[in-house]
Amino acid sequence: MDEIGKSLEVSKLFREIMILLRHSMAKSFEDMGITAPQGMVLRTLGHNEKMKISDLSSHLGLSNSTVSGIVDRLEKQGMVERIRSEEDRRVVYVSSSPKFEKLHKELHNRAEENIRNIMKRGTPEDIDKVIDGLNTLKKLLTNDK
């Protein structure tokens, strides 16, 4: 396989692995009563202190009305809070709630447990290959900067 073919193979495998991991995490969200779109909103809010609906929409590539509906349902579940700006009362921010913070830790623990369970399926040699490959990829990505 030539260099371009190998690059395409790495890209394809990386995409497939990310899809499989996302599906696995979606299952964890479902078990907790959270849909995949709600999980996307929560994940985004987990990386940002607070965001306007329009910023969330832009970040997720969804319409304002779609994100607003998702936020409405999350607010009813107590996962997010809407906060009116002190400077401009017309501006409303969405932030994660303390209930979500607790759930976020639980989801993080479940993700780690999920990875542990996946790794148990491999032989020690398989695990070493995965770690070596990921370390090599990390090194290549780090050197890319």
**H helix intervals, 32-123:** 36-46, 53-60, 64-76, 98-120
Domain interval for residue 129: 3-143
Mean pLDDT over all residues of the chain? 88
What crossing angle do the helices spanning 98-120 and 36-46 adopt, rounded to 10°? 110
CB 67 within 8 Å of CB 75: no
How many whole angstroms separate alpha carbon 53 and alpha carbon 59? 10
**Lowest-confidence pick of 54-58, 131-135, 141-145:** 141-145
In this prediction, residue 72 carries a pLDDT of 96
CATH of residue 125: 1.10.10.10
User: What domain count does the chain have?
Assistant: 1
Torsion, Cα 100 102 107 110, to 10 degrees, reads: -160
Q: CB within 8 A of 140, min separation 6: which ones?
A: none
pLDDT tens column, 48-103:
889 999 999 999 999 999 999 999 999 999 999 999 988 888 888 999 998 888 87
Identify which has the larger pLDDT, 13 or 111. Answer: 13
Res 110: pLDDT: 80
